Structures are given as structure tokens and as C-alpha cells.
Structure 1
């Protein structure tokens, strides 16, 4: 047990230590009678904290920084954090660094001006990337296409091409029910692939006489159906496609054809060209341009495409990019008839075409034929019209009898002659 004098001396030493230590001077607290715990702050310290808080409230740099960074999530969290948050023990945060509710972060130690300047640059760069408007490309269209189209319409004003009298619009029974007419339109389009319109019309006449409905097609065996549609191109394959399509229409669409391009192309043997034409003819809806071999060939010859295309589907997409939509339904039968009469696949009649001076392919695919040497049995030059219209078989036979041919007939020529005999 310590002596009373020693105890008093020890208390004095401890009291002096408390008074001399700045840490214990700042952390001492006194509980008043009202129960509020006040830190041992001097009046000067309290006044200093008030002035500091007031200066922070009116600091223009901080307000500007908050406004600039209000769209940034990370910066908004840092700026909205109060610098002088109320403490659990109350009092001045400068005098209680160890009792602050939130620890200082790296952003608190950085100057607001430099931080806002750095973030502002990033923000401007980010907005520029996101809000940049795409570069507008100019609308491309062929040169003089309206003039060329007007000439084609003038040359097609007679409407005397095979497609005008024997196309898919003329092959269905006008007195049949609506769903039967639509089915006949689809069948005629399926048969017209790789086939002349004359052959397609003849096959559709025989099918209509037999009964061109979904039920009758399914009840007909393949051999009989093949005889009805012969001699259309690839008739065996088309027999299979027509039967499969009829079964699918009966099972999924109640005997009618789909009313959308997506539904039509699902049918066996139906491509985009047939689907768009069926939508136009059967449903009276323009969904796209029907591009067949004639439209594909003529569009490339006239230069109506930004770059040459390799197949009809590429041509369809290229035409739809610039051709006005009100011409989509008309352009098919215009170019098909024009290709059947003037712009032929082989040796086009550029000399009678009104577009021969503006077409980039004029006279390139149909070179001028040199006049042949006149023989004793050939007609006089004045009867040039008869030479074009009269058949040349008699002249060839007579020449064959007098002087035998030195070169054999090529297989291509034989096939052409056979096809011409079959068509006639």
C-alpha cells in the first residue's frame, strides 16, 4: 500500500502528463448535467471548425466539380459524401481524427480542381464516342434511269409479250373460290421456273381441266401428275415439290397459301422470286421485287446496279435499295416482256431498242453481222423482209445437195433445232 504522499505525487505526475500530451488534451470529454458529451475543444477550435464548414459550403470549386461529375457514378459517390459528417460522439472532426465515421479515400486527398479536370476530359471523350451521328451516305441511283424506264414503258405499251397473255396472272381460274385461285397462282409460279410462258400456260390448262385444287393434287398419283405438266423444265422434280407443297398447305394452312413471304419460302420449291410475285398477284401486297433471269440480265446490262451482281437474289436487294417502291410491282412484267421481245439473252436487238444510245451494254452483246457472200440461189437484196420471215430450210437443203457440208453440225445447233421443232 502506497503512502498518501506518494499517491498524491503519482496523481500529480499523471495529471501533468495529461496536460502536456496534445493527444489527451484533444480527446478528453466532459459529460455535462444535460447528458451531452462535449469534446474538450477550445473556443478557438470550435470557431475554426465553423469557419471551415462555412467555407466548404460556399466553395465554388467544389460545386462546379459536383456539377461536372453528376453523371459519373463513381464521382457522384465521392462528391456526395459529406466531409464533415456527424460523429457518433459529436464534436469537431479536426479534433477527433480517430473517431470519424468514414475513412478518407484516395479521392478525398486529391485536389478537387485537378480531379474534375481529369474527369471532364474523359467525360467529353466518352460523350463524343456515344453520341456521334453516323456518317450519312448519299442516295445512289443510276444515271438516266428514268429516261431508260420511260423508253421501256413505251416499247412495252402494246402488251403483246408472252408474259402479258400467258403469265401467272393469266393462268388461274377467275371463277374459282379465292383460296383455289391463290393456290393456282402459286402452282403456275412453281411450274414457270426454267420454263417458257407458253409451256407453263399449256400445263396449267391441263391441270385446271383435271382439277387444280389441293385435294385433287394430293389424290393424283405422281405418274399422272407428271403427264399433266410435261414438258415443263425439270418436271419430275416439280411433281415432287407440288405434292409436298399441297400436303403442307392442307396440314398447316387449311388449304390456302401463306400470306407472308416468310411462310411462302418455307414451302418446298418456292424461292424469294416466287414468294414476292405470289404476294403481289394472289394477295395484292407488294412485299418486294420479283427478280427472274430477265430482270437480272437487263438490270446488269442497263447499269441499274451499283456493282454487277451474280444471281437474281443479289439483284433484288440492289434494286430495292434505290428503286421507288411504287415501281416494284410494275418492274417485273415490264422487264420480263422487254427481255422476251427486245433484250434477248443471246443476240439482243439493240438496233431497234430506244435505249441503245444510253445503255452501256448496247451493241456489245449483239455485234453487227457482216453480209454473207451472195450465192446464185439466194434472193435479191430488195427482198430483205422476206429473207427474215421465210424459213431457210429449203435453201439449206438445196445447198446441201449441190455441195456437201465440210463441217459437221455441232451438238448445240442440234439441240436448238430440236427445241424449235418441239415449240412449233
Structure 2
């Protein structure tokens, strides 16, 4: 007589339980129900074979295999410089407020100076055509001072190259104030020249119409109030029409050899704000901010330094961050990282031996590629 599978399993459970009761506890350990009953056998499901994919003659089917691989990557180092701008700090001992300089200003200043002297920022227009270099060398000190003042008045909103051309025309085309007197740029000839002719001679500079009026009016003030010479104080210089604080400080430093302030133009204002030294709205505010902490022995040099740097590397449009050491060293917070990563093109010269055994000088241009992680520079060639 056939019995069902459930009845057979029940019988096995009863027999196993009876055997467990007959055995002593010391000799046989208790069995769990799951240990007494073997697990049911799993029935394998027959899989129907798949029909092969039909393809047209001459056509192959590409099967793409995807392999999952665990890729271990090391964490990217992110050593960021802690930059602190110029700030006011209260002295706990005496309670006075002190101005602390930006923490990395010396390193930035030294790097820019090296670029101006031997790097990509050398030979700027200001080095040969700046206002302090446009006065005639063979003129008297009094005439040279007036020529320096005139060059500064023409330089506003004007490139150094254009300003130098306008000054050259004044030296060569300005007629003498009387017969037998020398022509060229001096106070007497400016007083006598017709405003229309003066305007034609300086037409290339920015706002030449206004500058013509300023130069003529200033010449009369110098004749009547200053004995034909230029003022030797900041207050006297800024009292002249068309002369602002920047021109006054530069003129006093160049013409009289006294530096009482920083000449801040658009380059100095723009670049120092890009570095994060301060947040100022105009050149005059920048001048006061710099003078609060920059050593006075650098007040005259910083104008030459940053004007040339702004003319060659840190341009107002299209900055050359890939050629700037500040970007490569992580010293400029405004550096364009894409340009920095490409690197700076450097020209190298080396002496090699050719096939005939002669030593020749070979010039090759290489590209120095550097990766910048955060503010830490890593040389890819190392």
C-alpha cells in the first residue's frame, strides 16, 4: 500500500523522537528537528534551449562584454595655502589697532620682481617708455621737471607707447615762443602755442581735448604762482588741473626725488585685488590700503613692478597664467587653472655633439607641464 510523502516524513519524526528519549543525555546530544529531517531535494528546472539569433548573410553581430573591475584610487592631496589679506588686528597690550600685511606678500613680491628682471615680465613698455624716462636727458633740471609733469598729464587712459609718440611730437614739432628761441617742450613754448596746434600734436592720447585745456591752464598757474617751476608738494601738484593723487605722487618721486606715497594706477589697483591683498573700489582707496602696511622703501618701486607685470603677463584681458610663476607656485588665488595646468613654454639651450664630433649649440623649445592639486604644484616631468 502506497503512503504519501507527508506520512513518511511524519513517521520518521516520531521514530527519531522516540530514539532520542531512549538515549541517555550523557552519550547522545539532542537533535534539532531540522537536523533529523533532511532538507528536501530541489527539483532542477529544465531550461529550454534558446533559438539562435537569425542574422542576414554577411552580417556579424558583435557581443559586448562588460567587466566590473574595482578600481582603487589614492585620495588626491589637497594642500591649500591659508591666505590672509591685509587686516586690522587689535593689540591686546596697548589696545591699539594695527594693520597686518597679507601673510604671503613677501613671497609674491619676490616672485614678481624675479619675473620682471629675468623672466617673462621683463622688457615691458614702461621700462623704456614710462613717464619717468621721457624727459630729455640734456635739458636743464627745471625743464626736465616740467617735461615729466607733462608726460604724466598725457599718460592718463593712454598706453605708454602712444604717450611716448605724443611726447616725441612735442619735442620735435612744438614751435619756439619767439624768434631765436629753441623749439620743443618747455613752459614758455606751451604758453605761446595755439591750443588748436597743441591739440593736433597730442591727438593720439586719450581725452586729448580735455588734456589740451589742462596743459594750457596748468602752464599759466606755474608761471603766475610757482615761478615757472612745478610744485614740490603733493598739495601743490594736485591743485593743478588734470593732476590727481597718482600723478602727484609719481611726479614728486621722479622730479623731486621724494617718495611720500604710492602711485597707484589701474594695473596696481587691479592686480593687488586679484591677489586678494585687499578689496578696494578705486585706485585712491588701494593707495591708502597699501600704504598702511607696505614698507616705505618699496613705495616707489611697486608702481614700476606691477605696471610692467600688468603689461606683459597679468594683462587686463587674456592673462598669461601659464607663464606666471605665481600661478605655477599656487600663490595667485585668481589664476586660471586650465592655463596653469598646460604650463609655461620654456626655451632651453644645450650644447650637443653632432655626427662629425663637433660641439654645436642646439635650441629646443619644450613645454613644462605641471599639475596643480589645490594650491600645491606638482611637476609632471619629475
Q: 2:132 pairs with 156, 163, 169, which one?
A: 169
> Deviation string for 1:86-116 (max 9, x for gaps)?
xxxxxxxxxxxxxxxxxxxxxxxxxxxxxxx
Please give the root-mean-square deviation of Cα atoms over the aligned residues, in Å: 1.9
Q: 2:257 pairs with 266, 276, 284, which one?
A: 284
Return the structure number with greater relative CO, CA threshold 8 A, min gap 6: 2
More helix by share: 1
SS at match of 2:247: helix
Q: 1:262 pairs with 222, 235, 241, which one?
A: 235
Q: Contact 1:171–1:201 at 8 Å: present in 2 too?
A: yes
**Unmatched runs of 5 consecutive residues or more in structure 1:** 1-132, 370-384, 386-424
Is 2:130 the counterpart of 1:185?
no
The number of residues matched between the two structures is: 236
SS at match of 1:347: coil
Shift of 1:139: 3.5
User: 2 CA distance for matches of 1:144 and 1:170?
Assistant: 32
SS at match of 1:355: helix
User: 1 CA distance for matches of 2:290 and 2:338?
Assistant: 23
TM-score (norm 2): 0.60
After TM superposition, what 4+ stretches of structure 1 lie above 6 angstroms from structure 2? 364-369
Residue number in structure 2 paired with 1:153:
113
Residue number in structure 2 paired with 1:329:
300
Q: 2:266 pairs with 273, 293, 297, which one?
A: 293
Residue number in structure 1 paired with 2:181:
none
1:365–1:253 distance in 2 versus 1, CA, 3 Å: farther
SS at match of 1:148: helix
Q: Contact 2:198–2:212 at 8 Å: present in 1 too?
A: yes
User: 2 CA distance for matches of 1:301 and 1:322?
Assistant: 18
Report the structure number with the largest CA radius of gyration.
Answer: 1
User: 2 CA distance for matches of 1:154 and 1:218?
Assistant: 44
Q: 1:343 pairs with 314, 332, 335, which one?
A: 314
User: 2 CA distance for matches of 1:365 and 1:234?
Assistant: 38
Shift of 1:155: 0.5
Q: Contact 2:322–2:341 at 8 Å: present in 1 too?
A: no
User: 2 CA distance for matches of 1:245 and 1:270?
Assistant: 9
User: 2 CA distance for matches of 1:199 and 1:236?
Assistant: 16
**Unmatched runs of 5 consecutive residues or more in structure 2:** 1-92, 175-183, 343-364, 366-382
Q: Contact 1:171–1:185 at 8 Å: present in 2 too?
A: yes
Residue number in structure 2 paired with 1:75:
none
- What is the correspondence of 1:207-218 to structure 2 with a 5 Å cutoff? 207-209=170-172, 210=174, 211-218=184-191
1:343–1:365 distance in 2 versus 1, CA, 3 Å: farther
Is 2:194 the counterpart of 1:221?
yes
Residue number in structure 2 paired with 1:204:
167
- What is the correspondence of 1:25-424 to structure 2 with a 5 Å cutoff? 135-158=95-118, 159-209=122-172, 210=174, 211-305=184-278, 308-356=279-327, 357-363=330-336
